[in-house]
Amino acid sequence: MRRLKAFGFFWWDFVVGDDWIAAVCVVAAIAATAAIASTNVPSWWLMPVAVSGTLYLTLRRALHS
Amino acid sequence: MSSIFGFSSAFLASAVEMVEALTIVLAAGVARGWRSALAGAAAAALALAVVVAALGPAITSIPLNALRLVVGGLLLTFGLQWLRKAILRASGHKSLHDEDAIFARELEHARADGAPVDHGIDAYGFVLAFKGVFLEGLEVAFIVLTFGSAQQSVPLAALGAAAAFVLVVAVGVALRAPLTRVPENAIKFAVGIMLTTFGTFWSTEGAGADWPGSDLALLALLAFVGGISAVFVVALRRGGALTRNVAAGG
């Protein structure tokens, strides 16, 4: 069980890293882009905006900690 | 054009990870003996080859749009991690990556674990080299597989990684010292920008949106990500709004 936990933690740390907020923002931004794209409204602009916002948030969290 | 970016990204990302792996192997070799260190590095390279051989065909069999969605999301998450650290380093809020200091620390740890065995394989040296090469190499394998598969050109991305391997190993063997002159922090910044750019581009396409100008949008996106990163570095250096908000607990 301990090894399984360590294995899961390794992959979590490898992919998500030390700030899970960034991963959540990425998933939310992709979902919102897909939702807008399905209505035939241009949605390419959303990801760059989300990247800027996520970078701001994650930098603030890093400085705060 | 995206092929050139893909090759460059795989080359640069692989080079910085291999410089880090080389530092650990050198520390293991100097402190515990070269036989154990090289055996550990070779075993890690073999384990990585097995991982790539197992995951490679599975990844490339996924439909392209779904692949770009997943790969884009992963690259973006990965890229934002690299970029955050690079911005913090460039603005003086995080200490610079120093191969000399890492080499000295690893050497001290390796020597503190008692005398190495005279004959056969020294377990500590083997494990130290194995872990260093495997963990740094896993990041390289991840970048090569994701870049390669999303661009439908795994061999090109692998070529970038192989070129970095040959260069780093050749210089490492010639110098037998940590590669402190490699502008590692600058390269990490560039890789962070490239991973974030490709991650944004592919995840948007995978989500069903179209970029104006198709592949040319990559250039605009690269300039945009580079631009906002530079703005954050300048803001943090000047103790701008971001820092003031943090200081105020906001």
Please list, residue by residue across A23-58, b when 16 or more beta carbons sit within 10 angstroms of its beta carbon and e when fewer do.
bebbeebbeebbebbeeeeebbebbbebbbebbbeb
**Is the per-residue pLDDT at B246 higher than 50?**
no
Contact B209 A44 (CB under 8 A): yes
Give residues 1 to 40 of A whose Cβ lies within 8 Å of B.
Answer: 14-19, 22-23, 26-27, 29-31, 33-34, 36-38
Contact B59, B143 (CB under 8 A): no
- Cα(A13)–Cα(A18) distance, integer angstroms: 7
3-state secondary structure of A36: helix
Q: A33: closest CA among B30, B208, B166, B228?
A: B208
Q: At what angle do helices B217-237 and A46-64 cross, to 10 degrees?
A: 20
Q: Is A63 an interface residue toward B (CB < 8 Å)?
A: yes
Cβ–Cβ gap B204/A43 under 8 Å: yes
Q: Which chain B residues are closer than 8 Å to A56 by Cβ?
A: 232, 242
User: For B1-60, how does the pLDDT look when each residue is reduced to its tens digit (9 = 90+)?
Assistant: 667 777 888 888 888 888 888 888 888 888 888 888 889 999 998 998 888 788 777 777
Q: Is the pLDDT of residue A36 over 90?
A: yes
The DSSP-derived string for B194-242 is HHHHHHHHHHHHHTT---TTGGGHHHHHHHHHHHHHHHHHHHHHTT-HH
pLDDT in tens, A38-62: 998 999 999 999 999 999 999 999 8
> What is the reported pLDDT for B249?
35
pLDDT of residue B114: 67
pLDDT value of residue B154: 78
Tokens of B120: 């056969």
Contact B91, B236 (CB under 8 A): yes
Which amino acid is it at B61?
Answer: S
Q: What percent of chain B has pLDDT over 90?
A: 20
Tokens representing B229?
Answer: 């990163």
Average pLDDT for chain A? 89
Q: Evaluate whether B241 touches B235 at the Cβ level (below 8 Å).
A: yes
pLDDT for residue B245: 47
Q: Which residues of A touch B204 (CB under 8 A)?
A: 33, 43-44, 46-47
**Higher-pLDDT residue of B177, B39:** B39
Q: Is B218 on the interface with A (CB under 8 A)?
A: no
Give the residue from B48, B80, B93, B229 with the most A CB atoms within 10 Å of its CB, the best one to mutate.
Answer: B80
Q: Does A49 touch chain B (CB under 8 A)?
A: no
Residues B61 and B58: their CA atoms lie apart, in Å, by 5
- Which band of pLDDT confidence, cut at 50, 70 and 90, is reported for residue B222? very high
- Closest Cα in chain A to B210: A44
Q: ipTM value, please give it.
A: 0.90
pLDDT reported for residue B223: 95
